[in-house]
Amino acid sequence: MAGSSTGTVFKVTTWGESHGPATGAVIDGCPAGLPLSPADFRPYMARRRPDGSLMSTNRREADEVEILSGVFEGMTTGTPVSLLIRNTDQHSADYGNLADIYRPGHADFGYQAKYGHRDYRGGGRSSGRETAARVAAGAVAAKILGMTGITFQTAVTSVGGFPPEEAPGIIKQYREAGDSAGSEVICTVHGAPAGIGDPVFRKLDALLAEAVFSIGAVRAFEIGSGRDVISLRGSENNDAFCMKNGKVVTETNHCGGILGGISTGGDILIRASFKPTPSISLKQRTVTRDGEETEICIRGRHDPVIGPRAAVVVEAMSALVLLDSMLLNMTSQLSSFISFYQKK
């Protein structure tokens, strides 16, 4: 399967299936000299882990990240950092009856059409479980970005079209009906400097869109005012420039901190819409591998809404894009090259 790697300088490859022995990530291009230990991953991994509430699956995973390589005496060495997260709570028997049936809303049919052979247990590689590896890699990127003053603020802003405070009631209702809900996540990046991103094919907003759209169940990506621009006038949508503490800033932020594919220095505003979880226990019509029409009721443990678990995944993917773009940006002006290599 190609397409499991992302990034140019800070290059991340994820691997592993939902019900295999483990999942993980390899980061090639992580600069040497970063203090890194399993403790760095715990707060990030905890935000993706099911929390035992009505809002998430009953699958229980420790999600402890093991560092297999690239760190010596507590510090990155510049060689590939290999991260491993063991799967310990798979219930593969729940999926035995799905070997020959295509689940509606899932990748089953597409994988079968493409490969002719697939790991159907828990959705294999198309499972939300794959995102554990992204979060581990994103934690490393976020740690480096934090050292430059960049921070993230990420929240679920809608569940089933309702504000988050109404979510528990909505989810209880949907669960009782054997159904699931859609959701929205907003991620704000504070402190990103102006001048990050490239002007044409590697626009910062285009890279963020690709990264966020690569997360399962994402159905829309917006930057800044996003789709609201449809009904704004130019005079309302343009962000006036002004000076603040000797710096060029914008008075408003409809552009979401990016113009012409390059950061303005304002907050980067990212919005992702997630579809309702495809696995529902309500009866659905489908087809078997032999082309026979049938019905399916999906059992197993599932998130009734994806946003609460995926919020940190949006943040992790944004951190990976931003760090990679910042590393690439170090070659954009000759003066940076000269000052780096100048003889002291």
* Residue 7 engages ligand FMN in binding (rule: CB under 6 A): no
Residue with tokens 């934090």: 146
251 DSSP assignment: S
Toward ligand FMN, which CB reaches closer, 71 or 98? Answer: 98
Question: Can you give the C-alpha Rg of the chain in angstroms?
Answer: 22
Q: Pick out residues in 137-196 that bind ligand FMN (CB under 6 A).
A: none
Pick the closest to residue 275 from 240, 304, 299, 296 (CA basis): 304
- Comparing CB distances to ligand FMN, the nearer of 168 and 199 is 168
C-beta closer to ligand FMN: residue 71 or 221:
221
Nearest to 193 by CA among 271, 259, 257, 139: 257
Q: Are 278 and 286 in contact (CB under 8 A)?
A: no
Q: Which is nearer to ligand FMN, 271 or 302 (CB)?
A: 302
* Identified binder of ligand FMN from the candidate list 24, 128, 160, 224, rule CB under 6 A: 128
Q: Is 122 in the site for ligand FMN (CB under 6 A)?
A: no
Q: Taking contact as CB under 6 A, which single stretch among the options 120-128, 183-191, 282-290, 328-336 is the one that binds ligand FMN?
A: 120-128
Q: Which is nearer to ligand FMN, 106 or 118 (CB)?
A: 106
Residues 290-319 that bind ligand FMN (CB under 6 A): 302-303, 306, 309-310, 313
Please give the single-letter amino acid code of residue 13: T
Residue ranges of the alpha helices (H) in the chain? 42-48, 108-115, 131-146, 167-176, 204-213, 234-237, 307-329, 334-341
CA 144/CA 295 separation, integer angstroms: 49
90 is a site residue for ligand FMN (CB under 6 A):
no
Is 19 one of the binding residues for ligand FMN (CB under 6 A)?
no
Site stretch for ligand FMN (CB under 6 A), options 71-79, 192-200, 226-234, 274-282: 274-282
- Residues 98, 104, 106, 108, CA torsion sign: positive
Q: Which of residues 198-237 bind ligand FMN (CB under 6 A)?
A: 215-217
266 is a contact residue toward ligand FMN (CB under 6 A):
no
| DSSP H or E stretch at residue 104 | none
Residues at the interface with ligand FMN (CB under 6 A): 57, 106-107, 123, 126-128, 131, 215-217, 275, 277-279, 302-303, 306, 309-310, 313
